[in-house]
Amino acid sequence: MVNRCLYLIIIIISVFFIQNSFANENRLIPVEDFFRNPEKTNVKISPSGNYIAYLASWNNRLNIFIQNLGTNEVQQITEVSKQVINSCFWIADDKIIYLQDQDGDEKFHIYLCDIKEKTVSDLTPYKGITCKIKNDASDITGSFLFLMNKRNKKLFDIYRLDLITNKTELVAKNPGNIIDYLMDNDGKIRICIASDGLNNEILYRDSEEESFRVIKSFGFKEFVNLLCFTSDNKNIYVNSNINTDTQSFCELNLKTGAETCIFSHPIVDIETVLKSKKRNKIIAVRYILDKTEYKFFDEVQEKTQKFIDKNLPEYENFIVSNDKEEKKFIIHSTNDKTLGSYYILDIEKWNLTKLFDVSPWLKESELYSMKPISYKARDGLTIYGYLTMPNNKTNKKVPLIVYPHGGPWRRTYRNFRSDVQFFANRGYAVLQMNFRGSIGYGKKFNQSGFKQWGLKMQDDITDGVLWAIDQEIVDPKRIAIFGGSYGGYAALCGIVKTPDLYAAAVDFVGISDLLSHLKEGSKAGPRTRALLYEKIGDPKIDEKRLIETSPLYNVDKIKTPLFIAHGARDPRVDKSQADKIIKSLQDRNIPFEYMIKEDEGHGFIKEENRLDFFRAVENFLQKHLTEKN
């Protein structure tokens, strides 16, 4: 009897430990949970503060819904079932606008949702046009300003939408070289930037009746972003790196063109400048090191942000919308392990209330942290990046996904990315780096990437892989490179330049032929052509180098398993970039896999296409990175 009891106890204890062991194992999260549409996102509060608008899934497409904050009644505003809505904006308490293209062609039209009339109409129903909206597009006259290339497909003129009649009118014609403009506090256009691609001029006039005059000139290697006029309309605020290496917050004297630096960070660029529209003042600037940090110029804003951060620790908390009186604010609270949640803050009551989670099916406790890292490139330049590690209870070396960002004039941040979390959940470490040429680390770092496609920029990626191997945490025989756009080009270059380093590669909407890509880019006009020639190379002067660094002309060096994916309507990297390398691989009997989506552009935006792509990527990586016994 004693032996039987002891036996039962042993069995119960064993089952307990086995169950605990399974509970601590990494749960394989379904691919659909990473790449399905969010439950609710892109929340904006109405001017009165009585409603919120947000995007939610309907028929596998994000559509616009509004919610009455008093009654919680929800109303669906749009019924889009084919195309994609990425964002929406309140322009009045009963009017919402959104941008929409056709199957990723990036020819965006402006649509108006009239909530009272329950109608949705295309305000710009013209063939072949595209529209752009500035961040602060509503002026004090009850109108809405936007840019459209209706008159000339290569030039954007300024149009005004009357919020009462819903009619549009041409406000200012682009003479051919204007790339930006700025309204003063009275809604008058008094500042603009003219450019030929390489040389830029800031033009100013005292009133709309006068002619513009040049007050400042700068070259393409420098940067000036027009922010807003000072409260007295005498000067303007700019984000500029003319007198500093990093982009800095400055005041520009409109009489002399001289800049006065208000705030500059020695390592990174200013990311965002925050303004109180009601109080007509700059309240803070935002910059990003390992996490988002602020420099405040306003006690109210500082108190508000600190209150939010105190109540939502462990997260980065962004004010994404506010009512006209700036009494109610929408907060997006997120970090590298979650798409986060939305909250509403009533600063009169100092009451912070949760609205909803973005993707409640993804549990933060099951996901993975991005660790900030840095390493030295072979020439001594410091490269910053992030390493995401999977759960690894065996202490065995894990396979690695090298993930260079697109652009290349962009940067990687420590924020939530569905693809990174998906890879980590499948047991892969993920290395992301801001190679030279990336933005965010000053103009010297950015310019060090000029004409270095496939050369030093690629070496920075390779040096990151070698750094990861030296850490003795990744298996050097199970490394893949995955990237989109420029990152796709880098993936192709990686298996051409260092074929023994990678066991697999994924090229997503990437460039294979620099010569033809530069010719395609030249179609956008002489300004774009001049800039591309300086940053990438001149097809005539630099032809030899461009051929040597184009994967298409070096296909015979490819021996790494390769997966290629592209959108047929891609307006940035033409589908021919995929077609040509596919044909070249076929001609040489080099095995590869590919996916073409006819209804997509530069990236797969539609839910069903995202799922198809990542299911295929999962199978491809599993096939080539599985540990060989």
Nearest to 560 by CA among 619, 616, 481: 481
Tokens standing for 500? 């023994």
Residue by residue, DSSP assigns 40-100 as EEEEEE-TTSSEEEEEEEETTEEEEEEEETTT--EEE----SSS----EEEEETTEEEEEE
Q: Tell me what pLDDT residue 521 has.
A: 78
Question: Which residues does 7 contact at the CB level (< 8 Å), separation at least 6?
Answer: none
Domains of the chain: 123-357 (2.130.10.120), 368-513+550-625 (3.40.50.1820)
What's residue 522's pLDDT? 66
| Long-range contacts of 78-81, Cβ-Cβ distance < 8 Å, separation of 24 or more | 78/113, 78/120
pTM, two decimals, is 0.93
Peptide bond before 408: cis, by omega within 30 degrees of 0?
yes
Task: Report the C-alpha gap between 565 and 509 in whole angstroms.
Answer: 6
For residue 65, what are the contacts with CB-CB under 8 A and spacing of at least 6? 40, 53, 54, 55, 56, 74, 75, 76, 77
Q: Is there a contact between 321 and 43 (Cβ–Cβ < 8 Å)?
A: yes
Find the angle CA(599)-CA(602)-CA(607) to the nearest 5 degrees. 55
The tokens describing 584, both together, are: 């070249």
Q: From the first residue on, what is the mean pLDDT of each consecutive set of 10 residues in the chain (629 residues)? A: 46 40 65 98 97 97 97 97 92 93 94 94 94 67 83 93 84 93 91 96 94 96 96 97 98 96 97 95 96 97 98 98 97 98 97 98 97 98 98 89 97 97 98 98 98 98 98 96 98 98 98 94 83 96 98 97 97 96 96 97 97 98 80
Measured distance between the N- and C-terminal CA atoms of the chain, rounded to whole angstroms? 47
Residue 509 to residue 612: CA distance in whole angstroms: 15
User: By CB neighbour count within 10 A (0-12 exposed, 13-18 middle, 19+ buried), where does 573 fall?
Assistant: buried
* C-alpha separations of 590 from 204, 471, 515 in Å: 58, 33, 23
Backbone Cα Rg of the chain: 26
Residue 566 parent element (H or E):
strand 562-567
pLDDT at residue number 432: 98
Could you tell me how many residues make up the chain?
Answer: 629
| Eight-state DSSP code of residue 601 | B
